[in-house]
Chains A and B, each alone.
Chain A
């Protein structure tokens, strides 16, 4: 899996391409954990080019979403579609992790007051 890290102002944007499973979860964890440990962080994960993910990948995203709340940060997913969307819906995670339709909407959510 490829991970592209960029910034939109103070927001960290991570674009994932490929498959998030037990083999690639370590690489994502290595990039994501330092970001979500910072107080008041803002992180967007764009999954538009993610072809599939397994329950291992889901677990990492849930863990990071919880940690983000604990750190009073913001952690949002966007571009969740196709088979990836199906996995989120089957697992019920679509209600547990903030998801926006696209990058623009995710950024707007980050910048919204309160």
Chain B
């Protein structure tokens, strides 16, 4: 798994013009691939070619504006690279809304969605307890699996992948060539070739697909007919509202926000080598920026948008997370709205090529999520949370037909395996956390001077709490040193009481003892140590303890006979 040290371009870097152009082109091209969703929407609700063109142009503008807002610093956006695409989670609901009242009702629905997202963005920080590290790991694995599943459906000969009984060898060949090109450029060419590996695979795969007849002749003929440049025909701000759709809009806004946060987790973890927990300021900014994109979609009669998990995969694979890529991509998307031939060209990319690229992105996300889920000590509760939520996330993929049996308002929940696994992880985490206290006194049977017993106790408690392995290990060592220092002062086991306290951010070891106070000097004691002086050795130990913790707190009572020493470790 790459971390920030392996990023070619970090958040605030400015890639050279050539590299920037290539990166922005790749991101924009991937957005254009996802224009298949508004095309599917247009076909489903019977839009004319002119109306379809208007929908596509409006959606491109929404993606461009939303992407621009994403890159603004909090509280307006995230300050990070994140690309918005027409979000497939919305598609079934939008078809339903479009059949009710056409594009005006879809536009009004998008506006309600935007308002709901703005409100939800404010509530996100209260969800902190719902997103411990293992849930974040599940979410990133879920991102990868969702993309991986999409990748497999692209290999099917028709769009009804679930009904496929065989795979076309030509599709497999084209997918294989695409994947081999991308992997070859990444592994064997290496270096800066990572930046263009995806674009290289796209070109090789599309060329192979066209040569092998995977692009229908009539679509090529249509492509010839279209001009390169043309003014987009936008239908303008014709809005309609229906109060009965408000609950669906709120539910979809919640789902979209969770999906958005999931993609944000992937981005945050990639760009910050010290990443320990979700930055909810960025999460709020991300959902807000999404709301802006949806608001523009509403006003221009486009399709609502969402933060693209596939683009997170592209960022991972290229190692390029520079913010400057976002406005360049947005400019290309805005410009693409004026290029009908380009939009059509990209819609002709053979499905197996798209599938191969999505499979490539999925690799990075799945492994990254697994690493994250295992970065903390795993107890039975946490293993159940991680494992079971991933199984539940497979349901929409394995049993898609169940959706039809659900009440209409709940069907969008079942649309996305990512949403299902994220919601299951949150629910299981909250449920199974019941009964876990965040305080653990050292039992009387554990001798604090016996480091093995002390260490085993720390490990057991750390597993229950899902603390970081390294944090627990360090805390045990330092506590052992502190207890030994107390021993040098003549303080016996019976006079020492210890307890551990943990929340997601800090681990406190609180030692209460009777006897002389342990001096923990800031400055290193003089090195002319008298070997027979236990007090000098205790001072040195106190100094080592102070230097090894993130914070040290001391207090005394009972005329200076009872003391409390708190060792604080921050994760």
Interface residues in chain A, defined as those with a beta carbon under 8 Å from any beta carbon in chain B? 19, 21-23, 52, 54-56, 58-59, 62-63, 66, 83, 87, 90-93, 95-96
Residues of B within 8 A of A23 (CB): 449-451
Residues of B within 8 A of A63 (CB): 531
Residues of B within 8 A of A66 (CB): 531
- Taking CB atoms and an 8 Å cut-off, the chain B residues in 531-554 that contact chain A are 531, 537-538, 540-541, 543-544, 547-548
Counting contact residues on chain B (CB < 8 A from A), the size range is 20 to 34
Interface-facing stretch out of B90-98, B228-236, B359-367, B477-485:
B477-485
Query: Told that A55-B540, A91-B524 touch, could you supply 4 new A-B pairs with CB distance under 8 A?
Result: A52-B477, A90-B543, A90-B547, A95-B527
| Cβ-defined contact, A91 with B544, below 8 A | yes
* Complex Cα–Cα for A83 and B547 (A): 13
Residues of B within 8 A of A58 (CB): 540
Residues of B within 8 A of A22 (CB): 449, 484, 487
Interface of B is mostly: helix
Residues of A within 8 A of B481 (CB): 54-55
* Complex Cα–Cα for A59 and B536 (A): 10
* Complex Cα–Cα for A90 and B531 (A): 18
A interface footprint on B497-538 (CB within 8 Å = 1, 0 otherwise): 000000000000000000000000000100101010000011
Q: Which residue of A lies closest to B473 (CB)?
A: A83
Query: Smallest distance from the beta carbon of B458 to chain A beta carbons, Å?
Result: 13
From B449, B451, B485, B487, residue with most partner A Cβ within 10 Å? B451
| Cβ-defined contact, B527 with A21, below 8 A | no
Given contacts A23-B449, A55-B537, A91-B524, contact A62 B484 (CB under 8 A): no
| Cβ-defined contact, B541 with A92, below 8 A | no
* Complex Cα–Cα for A91 and B450 (A): 23
Q: Which residue of A lies closest to B545 (CB)?
A: A55
Interface residues in chain B, defined as those with a beta carbon under 8 Å from any beta carbon in chain A? 449-451, 477, 480-481, 484-485, 487-488, 524, 527, 529, 531, 537-538, 540-541, 543-544, 547-548
Give the top 3 A-B pairs by smallest Cβ distance, nearest first. A55-B541, A63-B531, A90-B547
Residues of A within 8 A of B485 (CB): 55
Interface of A is mostly: helix
* Complex Cα–Cα for A19 and B480 (A): 11
| Cβ-defined contact, A54 with B541, below 8 A | yes
Query: Smallest distance from the beta carbon of B532 to chain A beta carbons, Å?
Result: 9
| Cβ-defined contact, A21 with B544, below 8 A | no
Given contacts A54-B541, A59-B537, contact A19 B451 (CB under 8 A): yes
Given contacts A55-B541, A56-B488, contact A21 B531 (CB under 8 A): no
Residues of B within 8 A of A91 (CB): 524, 540, 543-544
* Complex Cα–Cα for A87 and B477 (A): 11
| Cβ-defined contact, A21 with B480, below 8 A | yes
| Cβ-defined contact, B527 with A83, below 8 A | no
Q: Which residue of A lies closest to B487 (CB)?
A: A22
Query: Smallest distance from the beta carbon of A63 to chain B beta carbons, Å?
Result: 4
Provide a sorted-by-A list of 16 A–B residue pairs whose CB atoms are within 8 angstroms.
Answer: A19-B451, A52-B480, A54-B541, A55-B481, A55-B537, A55-B538, A56-B541, A59-B531, A63-B531, A66-B531, A83-B477, A87-B544, A90-B524, A90-B543, A91-B524, A93-B527
* Complex Cα–Cα for A19 and B477 (A): 10
| Cβ-defined contact, A21 with B451, below 8 A | yes
* Complex Cα–Cα for A15 and B543 (A): 28
* Complex Cα–Cα for A63 and B543 (A): 19
Residues of B within 8 A of A52 (CB): 477, 480
Q: Which residue of B lies closest to A57 (CB)?
A: B484
* Complex Cα–Cα for A33 and B286 (A): 65
Q: Which residue of B lies closest to A89 (CB)?
A: B547
* Complex Cα–Cα for A63 and B536 (A): 14
Query: Smallest distance from the beta carbon of A11 to chain B beta carbons, Å?
Result: 25
Contact among A54, A59, A83, A87 for B529, CB-based, below 8 A:
A59
